[in-house]
Amino acid sequence: MQLYGTEISSRLLLGTAQYPSPAILTQAIEASGCEIVTVSLRRETADGSGAGFWDVLRATGKHILPNTAGCHSVAEAVTTAHMAREIFGTRWIKLEIIGHADNLAPDVFALVEAARVLSEDGFQVFPYTTDDLVVGEKLLTAGCEVLMPWGAPIGSGQGLRTPDALRAMRAHFPETLLIVDAGIGRPSDAVQAMELGMDAVLLNTAVAKAGDPVGMARAMSLALDAGRAGRRADPMEPRDMAVPSTPVLGLAELG
C-alpha cells in the first residue's frame, strides 16, 4: 500500500488516545503490527508539556500521522496542521473538521476548503469524511490522494452503518485508497470493511477501551488480514434460494 509515496505493509492504522497507560499503549501498538499511529496535536504542545508522550511514540519507531481533532473551522484546522508539521516533522496530516457536536460528523464544506489550502501548501492530506461520492470527488480535486470515510460516528463502535455506500465508494473510486475511519467496534467490523474492498482501517476506541487492549489490537490485525484475504479470494455472491452442495443427478435410486 502506497500512502503519498510511502510504502506501508500493515493495513491497520492505530489511534493513541484513551489507553490505560503508556505501557499498554506501547504493547498494543506492537501487538497490532501497525506501521502508522495517529496523534492529536493536543497531546503535544509547543511548550513541550507533552514531551513524555511524544517520547513514547517516537520509541515505537512508527510513522506518525498527526490529526486536527477538535477543530471546527478551516482557520483552526489549517493553523493546527502547521503547528503539527513543525512539531512532528511530517507533511502528513489527518484532517478533521467537526460540524456536529453530537455525532461528530465532519463539516464537509469546510473540509474541502481546508484540504485545498493545505494541499497547496505542501501537506499530504488524509481527510476524515463521509461516504458521499460528490464530497469524495471534490476532495480528490482539492489535492487529496486518500479518502477516509466514516463507518459510524467516532467512538460509537456501531460498525459499518452504511455498507452499501462504502461499496459504492469502492466502485466509484477504484484507484483511490479508501481507509475506513471511525465506528469500528469489533474485529468482525474490520473484516467487513476489508471484504467491501477498503484498503485499510483506522481505529482507536475499539482497542483503547477494550478489556484487554493488547489482545484486541492483535485481534484487529488478524481480522484485517482475514477480510482482505477473503476479498482477494473472490467470495461467492448471496443467493435467493438454497442450492444443494451434493449433485442430484447420478444418485442411486433405492426402492
Tell me the CATH number at 79: 3.20.20.70
Catalytic annotation, residues: 94
Tell me the residue range of the domain where 155 lies: 10-232
* DSSP H helices in the chain: 22-32, 51-60, 74-88, 108-120, 133-141, 163-172, 187-195, 205-208, 213-232
Residue 59 within a domain = yes
Annotated binding site: 155, 182-183, 204-205
pLDDT digits (tens, 9 = 90+) for 112-150: 999 999 999 999 999 999 999 999 999 999 999 999 999
Residue 1 within a domain = no
Mean pLDDT for 211-217 is 96
Residue 86 within a domain = yes
Total number of domains constituting the chain = 1
pTM of the model: 0.88
Mean pLDDT for 169-183 is 95
H/E run at residue 178: strand 177-181
Question: Which amino acid, 187?
Answer: P
Q: What is the pLDDT at residue 181? A: 93
Residue 72 within a domain = yes
Q: What is the pLDDT at residue 251? A: 61
Q: What is the pLDDT at residue 48? A: 46
Q: What is the pLDDT at residue 155? A: 85
Residue 238 within a domain = no
Phi, psi of 148 (to 5 degrees): -125, 80
Whole-angstrom distance, CA of residue 143 vs CA of residue 238: 38
Residue 101: pLDDT over 90: no
Report the range of poorest mean pLDDT among 43-47, 89-93, 99-103, 251-255. Answer: 43-47
Q: Give the pLDDT band of residue 215 (cuts 50, 70, 90).
A: very high
Annotated binding site for 1-deoxy-D-xylulose 5-phosphate: 155, 182-183, 204-205
State CA 111 to chain mean position distance.
17
Residue 189 within a domain = yes
Q: How many CB atoms lie within 10 A of CB 238?
A: 5
Determine contact, residues 153/125, Cβ cutoff 8 Å. Answer: no
Q: What is the pLDDT at residue 46? A: 43
Find all residues with CB under 8 Å of 21, minimum gap 6, and list them. Answer: none
Length of the chain: 255
Whole-angstrom distance, CA of residue 151 vs CA of residue 192: 11
Mean pLDDT for 197-225 is 95
DSSP letter for 209, please. T
Q: What is the pLDDT at residue 58? A: 86
Q: Give the pLDDT band of residue 6 (cuts 50, 70, 90).
A: very high
Q: What is the pLDDT at residue 239? A: 82
Q: What is the pLDDT at residue 235? A: 83
Residue 2 within a domain = no
Residue 240 within a domain = no
